[in-house]
């Protein structure tokens, strides 16, 4: 039986490990921290449930649904409240709901008339002639400058904590890029059902994908999975990988273990700290992928102390509105059990990112967020709960040089057969994409092992 070592017990490493074990392989999962899950981290305090990292898991594929089932968490799933579908964008310092129908799109104050009419031109604009372009250039070309400023800028702040002037359209938003490549128009492509899909990914259309958390928080997923994996070692930081005549040897602490297959599911920034075989030494350059800092700030209030009804997912802030926050989720509207009772509400705000990296390190982030929310949401009283968590290197940015790193990852796997790469630095940053990619990787590894034993 092949022995597979997986470095890193974030969602990518856990998913890869679980499916390889399920297929009958011997798996050892090594994690440098004392717990699994990476940034997935739930805090429970006096009846408040706050996510220090990701707050929602989008069920982008059937693989996500299957993993939850395999983790034994079907009965723990908490679906987002259907009444909290509305999404707000800050406009002239107040939340304005994002149009959800043609009628509301025509009347929205978020765009001027000439920008609305500009949308009619979109089907007649040809696809990009270059191999890639920034997301900002892509959107300006197809939908106009105001759509970029009012919709895409805040959206990208919410997803990547990123800057559309730097992100690659092709790698950071491949669905959008492919829609244009295949259908020559985003509007026409959407009317025809979106970009073509790889059936093996078992994608669920985004408008049908459920938004998920668990009764006691997202932590339940990594906790349950890590208990199901037979060999997990915590406080096991891998510092050296050696190629042997067959397979690899992996060193951590005082220990060294051998394996036939090795998966690196750590972070893009982590290769620098590992002694690597010469075939894959260039992976150290992945630490040049920019990871901006983000501070996640929770403020809990009495319901009666906020004027806004918080009747939606949250509010995103365009850079032109000049706030010190990227956006705020109305967490207790999405998942009502996040507070000690129905007369309380929980807001979760994001500070920093590529827009204002220095703000993430603010000495009093709670005060900074309260100052920003006071006028935006009409806050009258003081918070009754607060918690913050700084992620110094939060989310990898797939910027214009990302193509070079994508190629390097493919080449490294070819240069060192039996060595594989997984994680949010490859093929998508969201939990849902990380899970889907990890399932696909486990299938690829299993198939290669079957071939080598025939
Ligand atoms: C603030 C924040 C908010 C987010 N919000 C959302 C959201 O709402 N929805 C969403 O879908 N996504 C969200 N994301 C993104 C998502 O959480 C991450 O992309 C995802 O968790 C990454 O998983 P991963 O397994 O690829 O990496 P990680 O979870 O980072 O796992 C890597 C693991 O490898 C370990 N490791 C590293 N080096 C070594 C070594 N040498 N030896 C042993 N172990 C090692 C690390 O300790 C870590 O546990 C958010 C991220 C952040 C930071």
Please write the tens of the pLDDT for every residue from 79-95: 999 989 899 999 999 99
What's the rounded Cα separation, in Å, for the pair 214 and 8? 23
Q: What pLDDT is attached to residue 128?
A: 86
Q: Which of 59, 424, 437 to mutate to test the pocket of ligand 1 (most atoms within 8 A of CB)?
A: 424
Percent of the residues in the chain that have a pLDDT greater than 70, as a whole number: 100
Q: Is the pLDDT of residue 331 over 60?
A: yes
CA–centroid distance, 214 to ligand 1, in Å, is 18
160 confidence band (pLDDT: 50, 70, 90):
very high
Q: Which of 19, 32, 284, 298 to mutate to test the pocket of ligand 1 (most atoms within 8 A of CB)?
A: 32
| Segment 378-388 mean pLDDT | 97
- Angle (CA) 246-249-252 rounded to 5° is 170
451 confidence band (pLDDT: 50, 70, 90):
confident
Q: What pLDDT is attached to residue 100?
A: 87
Q: What pLDDT is attached to residue 101?
A: 87
What's the rounded Cα separation, in Å, for the pair 27 and 30? 10
Q: Is the pLDDT of residue 6 over 90?
A: yes
The pTM of this model reads 0.97
| Segment 358-386 mean pLDDT | 97
Mean pLDDT score of the chain: 96
Q: What pLDDT is attached to residue 51?
A: 98
Q: How many of the other CB atoms lie within 10 Å of CB of 231?
A: 14
**Ligand 1, atom 4: nearest CA belongs to which residue?**
54
| Segment 220-248 mean pLDDT | 97
**Ligand 1, atom 12: nearest CA belongs to which residue?**
430
298 DSSP β-pair partners = 348, 387
Tokens of residue 379, six digits: 């806050």
Beta 344-352 vs 327-330: how paired, if at all?
antiparallel
Q: What pLDDT is attached to residue 454?
A: 47
Superfamily classification of domain 111-193:
protoporphyrinogen ix oxidase, domain 3 (1.10.3110.10)
Question: Which ligand 1 atom minimizes the distance to the CA of 274?
Answer: 41
Question: Which ligand 1 atom minimizes the distance to the CA of 11?
Answer: 25
Q: What pLDDT is attached to residue 196?
A: 85
| C-alpha dist (Å) from residue 360 to 70, 212, 322, 424 | 37, 27, 15, 21
Burial label for 384, CB within 10 Å (0-12, 13-18, 19+), is middle
CA–centroid distance, 9 to ligand 1, in Å, is 9
Q: Is the pLDDT of residue 388 over 50?
A: yes
Per domain, the residue ranges of the chain are 3-39+216-289+398-453, 111-193, 292-391
Question: Which ligand 1 atom minimizes the distance to the CA of 33?
Answer: 47
Superfamily classification of domain 3-39+216-289+398-453:
FAD/NAD(P)-binding domain (3.50.50.60)
CA–centroid distance, 255 to ligand 1, in Å, is 25
| Segment 45-57 mean pLDDT | 98
What's the rounded Cα separation, in Å, for the pair 391 and 360? 8
Q: Which of 331, 431, 432, 438 to mutate to test the pocket of ligand 1 (most atoms within 8 A of CB)?
A: 431
| Segment 4-14 mean pLDDT | 98
CA–centroid distance, 93 to ligand 1, in Å, is 33
275 DSSP β-pair partners = 240
CA–centroid distance, 258 to ligand 1, in Å, is 26
What is the CATH topology of the domain spanning 292-391?
Answer: Polyamine Oxidase; Chain A, domain 2 (3.90.660)
**Ligand 1, atom 31: nearest CA belongs to which residue?**
10
Q: What pLDDT is attached to residue 243?
A: 97
For residue 172, give the nearest of 322, 354, 349, 345 by alpha carbon.
354
**Ligand 1, atom 48: nearest CA belongs to which residue?**
38
195 confidence band (pLDDT: 50, 70, 90):
confident
Please write the tens of the pLDDT for every residue from 410-432: 999 999 999 999 999 999 999 99
Q: Which of 325, 434, 440 to mutate to test the pocket of ligand 1 (most atoms within 8 A of CB)?
A: 434
Helix (H) or strand (E) segment spanning residue 385? strand 385-391
Q: Where are the beta strands (DSSP E) in 15-159?
A: 26-30, 42-45, 48-51, 57-58, 77-79, 87-91, 94-97
Question: Which ligand 1 atom minimizes the distance to the CA of 423?
Answer: 26
- Asked if residues 29 and 52 have their Cβ atoms less than 8 Å apart, the reply is no
What's the rounded Cα separation, in Å, for the pair 29 and 34? 13
CA–centroid distance, 11 to ligand 1, in Å, is 7
Q: What pLDDT is attached to residue 453?
A: 59
Q: Is the pLDDT of residue 214 over 60?
A: yes
Q: Residues with beta carbon inside 6 Å of ligand 1?
A: 7-13, 30-33, 38-40, 53-57, 236-238, 265-267, 270, 274, 294, 296, 391, 394-395, 423-424, 429-432, 434
Question: Which ligand 1 atom minimizes the distance to the CA of 30?
Answer: 43
Helices (H) and strands (E) in the chain, counts: 15, 20
Maximum Cα–Cα distance across the chain: 70
């Amino acid at each position: 039986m092949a022995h597979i070592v997986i470095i890193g017990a974030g969602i990518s490493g856990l998913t890869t490990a679980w499916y390889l074990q399920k297929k009958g392989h011997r798996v050892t999962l090594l994690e440098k921290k004392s717990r699994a899950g990476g940034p997935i981290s739930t805090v429970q305090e006096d009846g408040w449930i706050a996510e220090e990292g990701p707050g929602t898991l989008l069920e982008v594929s059937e693989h996500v649904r299957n993993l939850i089932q395999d983790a034994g968490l079907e009965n723990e799933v908490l679906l987002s409240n259907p009444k909290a579908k509305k999404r707000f964008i800050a406009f002239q310092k107040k939340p304005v709901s994002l149009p959800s129908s043609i009628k509301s799109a025509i009347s929205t104050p978020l765009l001027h008339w000439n920008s609305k009419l500009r949308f009619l031109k979109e089907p007649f604009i040809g696809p990009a002639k270059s191999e890639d372009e920034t997301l900002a250039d892509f959107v300006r070309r197809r939908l106009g400058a105001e759509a970029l400023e009012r919709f895409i800028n805040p959206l990208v702040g919410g997803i990547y904590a990123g800057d559309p002037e730097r992100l690659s359209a092709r790698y950071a938003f491949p669905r959008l890029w492919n829609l244009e490549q295949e259908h020559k128009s985003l509007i026409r492509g959407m009317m025809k059902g979106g970009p073509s899909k790889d059936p093996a990914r078992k994608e669920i259309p985004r408008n049908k994908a459920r938004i998920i958390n668990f009764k006691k928080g997202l932590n339940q997923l990594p906790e349950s999975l890590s208990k199901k994996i037979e060999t997990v070692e915590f406080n096991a930081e891998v510092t050296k990988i050696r190629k042997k005549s067959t397979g690899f040897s992996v060193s951590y602490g005082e220990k060294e273990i051998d394996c036939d297959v090795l998966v690196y599911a750590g972070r893009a920034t982590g290769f620098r700290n590992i002694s690597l075989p010469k075939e894959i030494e260039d992976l150290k350059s992945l630490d040049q992928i920019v990871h901006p800092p983000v501070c996640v700030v929770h403020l809990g209030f009495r319901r009666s102390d906020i004027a806004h009804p918080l009747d939606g997912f949250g509010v995103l802030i365009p850079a032109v509105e000049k706030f010190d926050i990227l956006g705020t989720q109305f967490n207790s509207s999405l998942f009502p059990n996040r507070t000690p009772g129905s007369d309380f509400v929980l807001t979760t705000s994001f500070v920093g990112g590529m827009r204002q990296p220095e703000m993430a390190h603010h000495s009093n982030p709670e005060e900074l967020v309260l100052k920003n929310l006071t006028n935006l949401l009409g806050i009258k009283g003081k918070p009754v709960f607060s918690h913050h968590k700084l992620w110094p290197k939060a989310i990898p940015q797939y910027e214009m040089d990302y193509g070079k790193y994508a190629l390097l990852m493919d080449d490294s796997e070819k240069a060192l057969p039996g060595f594989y790469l997984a994680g949010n630095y490859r093929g998508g940053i969201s939990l849902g994409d990380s899970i889907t990619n990890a399932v696909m990787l486990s299938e690829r590894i299993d198939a290669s092992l079957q071939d080598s034993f025939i």
